[in-house]
Amino acid sequence: MSPGLRNLTLAVHLTFSVGWVGAVAAYLALDITTATSGDAETLRAAYIAMDVTARYVILPLAVGSLVTGVVVSLGTKWGLFRHYWVVISLVLTTIATVVLLIELGTIRSLAAVASDSTGSVLRDLPSTLIHSVGGMGVLLVILVLNIYKPAGLTAYGERKREHATRMV
């Protein structure tokens, strides 16, 4: 990958990744509202906004981050399976995206109930706070891994390094 294309791909990946963290922060604020508010209209608005945010903002950013992360890793010296921090980031990103896809059904159901309900029904709806806090935690771990890039080659990475050393 040429340096210009690598930088463009990295910029797109960072945009998706940072956007994902920001969108989850907005979702988390809405989720805290559903867990703490007693006002029916506030609850209705929060549940509906959570659905829109999850489907149209968080999901595309998650998928974009996953795809561009793979492209960036394949196009740079880090590789996809050479370093533990890349593998762990890939696994955590994949898990976070799969959990999000599963959780979208719950979020959509809560929004549907909220849009047609009033009063006590809205106050009895559950929040998805555990998932949103957990998701934010996972994203922050991925962020730290990608900034600090802890040392450690996988067995595959060791073989590639030994092969490169023998070729020189």
pLDDT at 30 over 80: yes
Which pLDDT tens digit goes with each residue over 110-157? Answer: 999 999 887 788 888 888 999 999 999 999 999 999 999 999 999 999
Separation between Cα atoms, residue 48 and residue 167, nearest integer Å = 59
Handedness of CA 34, 36, 40, 42 (dihedral sign): negative
3-state secondary structure the chain: CCHHHHHHHHHHHHHHHHHHHHHHHHHHHHHHHHHHCCCHHHHHHHHHHHHHHHHHHHHHHHHHHHHHHHHHHHCCCCCCCCEHHHHHHHHHHHHHHHHHHHHHHHHHHHHHHHHHCCHHHHHHCCCCHHHHHHHHHHHHHHHHHHHHCCCCECHHHHHHHHHHHHHC
Which pLDDT tens digit goes with each residue over 81-95? Answer: 999 999 999 999 999
Which pLDDT tens digit goes with each residue over 53-76? Answer: 999 999 999 999 999 999 999 998
* pTM of the predicted protein model: 0.92
- Asked which of 19-23, 28-32, 97-101, 147-151 is least confident by mean pLDDT, the reply is 147-151
Determine the pLDDT at residue 120. 80
